[in-house]
């Protein structure tokens, strides 16, 4: 099935993955909200330098999963280790320090509407690295803006930016702290195909330039194939399949076939 449409996408280039270095380890992760079981026993290892895509329908538990990785939610059962530290064992200060090494690209970009681009980028840097001089702060802002291709927007307000530009500035806002892990929440949601392709390319550039590991949650198959070194399919709280994009979709599983066909119904 995947082979029939493989020419429609840019396949992700192989990354420099260190399979001896596990940066995120999830074991038997369970999470429920009342009687609703969202995650029903998730196991996942993410290696240094690896982009892992978690695919699934809306409401399948993808966002809950990355919030657990970031320490924003606690699982009901199971263990979460990030960069060698078990999150449940960390005090508030230690958890804050760990989060500074994790870049979270929110679906809505999470920019402050009342601040221009410069101030949006300056805020997390000054809050987390108080010993920097104003010159060092300015240099860091200019670098990340150049890295995301938006140097010209430095004095613009979020309302003056396009959807794609907001996504890029949101990513720049996380990169300014030079994270080791990036978490992308539906990075191409609401974007046109060309802008989506630009965001996919940026995710790959971040991986290569910043040597990050990443979890990318999406229901966009083009994003999955363009950015993922490995793909996992999440359905009804469990992982159904895991591997390359081609391997995940080379199956007669009706749930996976339906998900694939829905994504490309407009191509027929």
Instruction: Kindly report, residue by residue over 49-104, the tens digit of the pLDDT.
Output: 999 999 988 778 898 999 999 988 999 999 999 999 999 899 999 998 898 899 99
High-pLDDT (> 70) share of the chain, %: 91
Nearest to 115 by CA among 175, 156, 174: 156
Q: In angstroms, what CA-CA distances link 102 with 124, 152, 173, 213, 236?
A: 13, 27, 12, 10, 27
Domains of the chain: 1-6+18-101+183-195+209-268 (3.40.50.300), 111-178 (no CATH)
pTM above 0.75, yes or no: yes
Q: What is the dihedral of CA 17, 23, 25, 29, to 10 degrees?
A: -110
Is the pLDDT at 34 greater than 90? The verdict is yes
What are 33's strand-pairing partners? 36
Helix and strand totals (H; E) in the chain = 9, 10
Over the stretch 148-157, which tens digit does the pLDDT of each residue have? 999 999 999 9
């Amino acid at each position: 099935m995947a082979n029939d449409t493989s020419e429609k996408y840019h396949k992700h280039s192989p990354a420099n993955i260190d399979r001896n270095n596990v940066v995120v380890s999830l074991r038997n992760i369970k999470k429920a909200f009342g009687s609703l079981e969202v995650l029903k026993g998730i196991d996942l290892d993410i290696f240094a330098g690896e982009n892992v895509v978690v695919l699934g329908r809306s409401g399948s538990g993808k966002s809950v999963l990355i919030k657990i990785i970031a320490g924003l939610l606690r699982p009901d059962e199971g263990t979460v280790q990030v960069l060698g530290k078990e999150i449940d064992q960390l005090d508030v200060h230690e958890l804050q320090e760990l989060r500074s090494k994790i870049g979270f690209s929110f679906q809505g970009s999470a920019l402050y509407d009342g601040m221009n681009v410069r101030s949006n980028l300056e805020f997390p840097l000054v809050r987390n690295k108080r010993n920097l001089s104003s010159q060092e702060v300015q240099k860091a802002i200019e670098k990340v803006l150049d890295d995301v291709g938006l140097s010209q927007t430095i004095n613009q307000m979020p309302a003056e930016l396009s959807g794609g530009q907001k996504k890029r500035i949101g990513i720049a806002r996380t990169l300014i702290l030079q994270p080791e892990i990036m978490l992308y929440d539906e990075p191409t949601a609401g974007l046109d195909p060309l802008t989506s392709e630009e965001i996919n390319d940026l995710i790959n550039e971040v991986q290569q330039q910043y040597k990050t590991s990443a979890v990318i949650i999406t229901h966009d198959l083009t994003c999955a194939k363009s950015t993922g070194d490995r793909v996992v399919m999440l359905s009804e709280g469990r992982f159904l399949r895991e591997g390359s994009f081609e391997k995940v979709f080379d199956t007669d599983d009706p749930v996976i076939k339906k998900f694939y066909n829905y994504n490309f119904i407009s191509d027929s």
